[in-house]
Structure 1
Amino acid sequence: MRRLRQLADHTPAGRERYVDLLRAVAIVMVVIGHWSVTVVGRDATGRPTGHSALGDLPWAYPLTWVAQVLPVFFLVGGFANAASLTARRARGGDASGWLLDRSARLVAPTTALLVVLAIGAAGASLWGIEAAQLRQVVWSATIPLWFLIPYLAAVALTPLTHALHRRFGLAVPVALVGLVALGDLGRLTGPTALATGSYLAGWLAVHQIGFAWYDAYAGTRPAEGRQAGRARHPLPTSRRAAVALLVGGFGALLLLTTLGPYPVTMLHVPGQRPDNTSPPSLALLALATAQLGLILLLRNPAERWLRRPGPWRAVIAVNSVVLTVFLWHLTAALLLIGLLDAVGLLPTPAVGTAAWFAWRVPWLLLLAVVLGGLIAVFGPIEARSGRHPPAEGGATGRPARMTPVAAGYVAVTAGLLVNSITPEATPEPVGLPAPALVAYLAGAGLLRLLRSGWGSRG
């Protein structure tokens, strides 16, 4: 509590606290959403199994318009990345130093998760657990990592995409939306390969809007405006613009999901085509537009509320471990299922029944307790990495250092990607595909060496 009070008391007067609130709310909503739709059953051998209830609850599909908040995370990520990169350059730093600083907060908590899962799976393998079963458990625990793949790519590309924003402004996200539209056309009429670029283009479009939002914010703050040179391409943030975004985005979403070919649900449901999330579709971007309008409308009352010490300390507390919360929340579910099964107290009510709905309350409370324990153990890793001193870079040696930094990001992202596309049923003695684990750890190790100063001398 003392640490939280100190952080709250030393918050810069010009900080956009609303961005921190949005990040915290988005991740908490993702966690609660995943937990709430969990269905626990048993397979033919009596072992616990789990799946999402969404496929069995079509009446809940419109609720996913509220539950799908990953666009919010990319929006605030774009704002935060633009702000920190601009500040870094104003202090004389370079893009490679900024990327190293960013990697500390993202990679360290992810490494902790993967290493713990691999060690745990290796121990279970020695105990005699089948490799296919180990992969199923670890695959479930690493589902959140699919989100980090496009986000790490967005961070790695920020020096380039921010430069494009400084030159072309909102034309960049418009072009990216065009690529998503082309990908949707490919998914609907062929060839489906046209949609490959949408996996990145959709999220980058939202990330670019975050840049424009930061320009609008910097334009109202003389200090930030001087750091940015000038706010060249600000996002329109007036009340009229916010209403237009909300109404236009919501209207487009209704048309695309009723008269158009897109499903109503904004979360993954097996068998629905086209999937609105994998890759992001025009319907999902319409939802993101409506969310942006609502965010802008709520900003002023939210900022006033965040001037109160209590709410601001709560936001700081969540943000200090926000990635830990996200990464470990499904592991918490697996641990709770295993514990309840071991003591013979695991309920398996059928989805949609009164018993299933009644079980939601104790289920969420027990999960919060388990996740709280995991945060107590692993949260300090993220908190320490967030306080990592900036790795400033001088003018000399910039091109040479950017190459290994980029290589580190590529290896880390490739490792996560290989794990995500490796089927759940693939036997893996350590739960993770060996190439994925090797690539990820090599990239993480390289970034750690570079943050320590290795390779920057001479």
Structure 2
Amino acid sequence: MRRLRDLADRTPAGRERYVDLLRALAITMVAIGHWGVTVIGRDAAGRPTGHSALGDLRWAYPLTWVAQVMPIFFLVGGYANAASLTRLRARGGDAASWLLDRSARLVRPTSTLLLVLTAAAAAARLRGVDDTQVREVFWFATIPLWFLVAYLAVVVLTPPMYALHRRFGLAVPLVLVALVGLGDLGRLTGPEELSYGNYLFGWLAIHQLGFAWHDTRAAPPAAGPTPPPSAESDAAGPSAPDHPGLRRRRLPTSRRAGLVFLAGGLAALLLLTGPGPWPVAMLHVPGERLDNASPPSLALLAVATAQLGLVLLLRGPAGRLLRRTGPWQLVIGVNLVVLTIFLWHLTAAILLIGLLDATGTLPTPAAGSGAWWAWRVPWLLLLTVVLAVLVAIFGPVEARSGRHRTRRTGPGGTTARAALTVAGYIAVVVALLINSATPERAPEPLGTPVPALLAYLAGAGVLRLLRSGWGTRG
């Protein structure tokens, strides 16, 4: 508590605290959403299994327009990345230093998760657990890595995409939306390969809107104490002004603009999911041919537009709330471990299911039944306790990462270091992508393909060496 009070006291006056609140709320809603729709059953051998209840709760599909909060996460990520990049450049840093700082915050907690899960998988294999069972548990625990792949990709592309933003402004997300529309056409009429780019274009479009939002608050760096190390450290603080000669249309952020975004997004969403071809649900529904989030569709971008409107409408009341010490300390506390919460929340479910099954107290009511609904409250409370234990154990890795700053390069080392930084990031992204794309029941004795694990360790190792100052003398 003393550290939270200290961080709250050192918060600069110009910090956009609302960004931190949105990030904390988004990740909290992801965890609660995944937990809330979980249905536990048993397979033919009597082992516990799990699946989503959405296939049995069609009436709940419109609720996913609010529950699908990944657009919010990418929106605030764009804001935070633009702010941290401009602040670092104002202090004389370069894009490679910025990427390395981001890797400390993003890759370290991810490495912890993968190493712990791999060790657990190896131990289970040594005890005679079938390889497909090992992979099935590992796959479920690493579902959050699917979205982390997309976020890491937009992070490594932030320097060039921010340069495009400074040159063309809101034209960039409009072009990306058009590319998503082309991908949607390919998914509906063929060839389906046209839609593969949507995994990147969709999230990039929302990320670019975060850049535009940051523009509306851009100001010269404020002198004074360092901002608290929340999810992006100094990312949400004030930043350097745009170049005086730069001209582009800024994102409107008035209450009227919020209403327009909300109404326009909802209208487009109703057209795309009513007479249009896209499903109403914005989350994965077992058995559905199309998925709005995998890859992102125009319907998901319509949800993102409506959510942007809602974000703008709630900005004033939220800002007043966050000027109070108590709520702001709570937001800081969540942001210190926000990635840990995201990465470990499904592992918490696995541990609780295993514990209840081992003690013979695991309920398996049918989805939508009275017993299933009654079980939601104790289920969520127990999961919160388990996750709190995991965060207490592994959260310090993330919290310490937020205080990391990369050592400056020496003369002649910039180009090579930048190339190695990008290569390290690419290795990490490709490794996580391979893991997510590997079938759920593939026979993997370590839970994940060995080439993916080796590629990840190589990429993360290179980034770690570069952060420590290795290779900075040319």
TM-score per shorter chain, which class?
A: over 0.9
Alignment correspondent of 2:444? 428
Return the offset for 1:390: 4.2
- Equivalent AA in structure 1 for residue 210 of structure 2: G
Contact 1:93 1:394 in 2 (8 A): no
Q: What SS is found at the alignment partner of 1:260?
A: coil
Alignment of 1:47-86 (within 5 A): 47-86=47-86
In the TM superposition, residue 391 of structure 1 has moved relative to its aligned partner by 3.8
1:407 aligns with 2:423: yes
Identity among equivalent positions (%) equals 70
Tell whether the 8 Å contact from 1:86 to 1:228 is kept in structure 2 after alignment.
no
SS class of match (1:44): coil
Q: Secondary structure at the match of 1:218?
A: coil
What are the ranges of 5 or more consecutive residues in structure 2 without an aligned counterpart? 224-237
State the Cα deviation string for residues 34-92 of structure 1 (Å, max 9, x = none): 00000000000000000010011111101101100000000000000000000000000
Change beyond 3 A, Cα 1:221–1:86:
closer
Aligned to 1:205: 205
Cα pair distance change 1:447/1:350, threshold 3 Å: same
- 1:185-224 → structure 2 map (5 Å cutoff): 185-218=185-218, 224=238
User: Contact conserved, 2:83 with 2:239, CA < 8 A, in 1?
Assistant: no
Residue 266 (structure 2) pairs with residue 250 (structure 1): yes
Q: CA deviation at 1:274?
A: 2.5
What pairs up with 1:23-422 in 2 under 5 angstroms? 23-218=23-218, 224=238, 226-230=240-244, 232-233=247-248, 234-393=250-409, 396-422=412-438
1:421 and 1:55 map into 2 onto residues whose CA distance is 22
Given that residues 243 and 297 in structure 1 are in contact (C-alpha distance below 8 angstroms), is that contact kept between their aligned partners in structure 2?
A: yes
The answer on whether the counterparts of 2:86 and 2:240 sit within 8 Å (CA) in structure 1 is no
Q: Measure, in 2, the Cα distance between the counterparts of 1:226 and 1:359.
A: 51
TM-aligned CA deviation for residue 271 of structure 1: 2.6
2: CA distance, partners of 1:211 / 1:453: 30
In 2, the alpha carbon distance for the partners of 1:320 and 1:90 equals 25
Structure 1 residues 393 and 221: alpha-carbon distance in aligned structure 2, compared to 1, 3 A threshold? closer
Q: Distance in 1 between matches of 2:385 and 2:240?
A: 46
What CA distance in whole angstroms lies between the structure 1 residues aligned with 2:408 and 2:470? 13
Report the more deviating stretch, 215-224 or 2-11.
215-224
- Return the offset for 1:217: 1.2
- CA RMSD, aligned part only? 1.4
How big is the shift at 1:228?
A: 3.5
Identify which range, 353-362 or 427-436, moves more after superposition. 427-436
After superposition, the Cα gap between the structure-2 partners of 1:441 and 1:232, relative to the gap in structure 1 and judged at 3 Å, is farther
Q: Report the CA distance between 1:226 and its aligned residue.
A: 4.4
Any idea what the Cα deviations from partners look like across 1:137-168, whole Å, max 9, x if unmatched? 00100001000111000000000000000001
- 3-state DSSP of counterpart to 1:51: strand
Give 1:243 shift.
Answer: 1.1
Given that 2:262 and 2:306 are in contact with CA atoms closer than 8 Å, whether structure 1 keeps it comes out as yes
Q: Give CA-to-partner distance per residue, 1:176-223, whole Å, 9 cap, x none.
A: 000000000001111101101111000000000000000011169999
Q: Would the aligned equivalents of 1:180 and 1:281 in 2 still touch at CA under 8 Å?
A: yes
Amino acid paired to 1:136: E
Pair 1:56–1:229, CA change in 2 (3 A): same
Aligned 8 A contact 2:411 2:473 in 1: no
Query: Shift in Å at residue 393 of structure 1?
Result: 4.2
TM-score (norm. length: structure 2): 0.94
Q: 1:120, 1:357 → 2: CA distance? A: 32
**1:94-114 CA-partner distances (Å, limit 9, x unpaired):** 000000000000000000000
Cα deviations by residue, 1:339-365 (Å, 9 ceiling, x for unpaired): 000010000011110000000000000
Structure-2 residue corresponding to 1:20:
20
Residue 342 and residue 410 in structure 1: after superposition, are their counterparts in 2 closer, same or farther (change >3 A)? same
Distance 1:141 1:226 in 2: 40
In 2: Cα distance, 1:43 partner to 1:222 partner: 59
TM-score by length of 1: 0.98
Residue identity opposite 1:324 in structure 2? T
Per the TM alignment, residue 242 of structure 1 is displaced from its structure 2 partner at its CA by 1.4
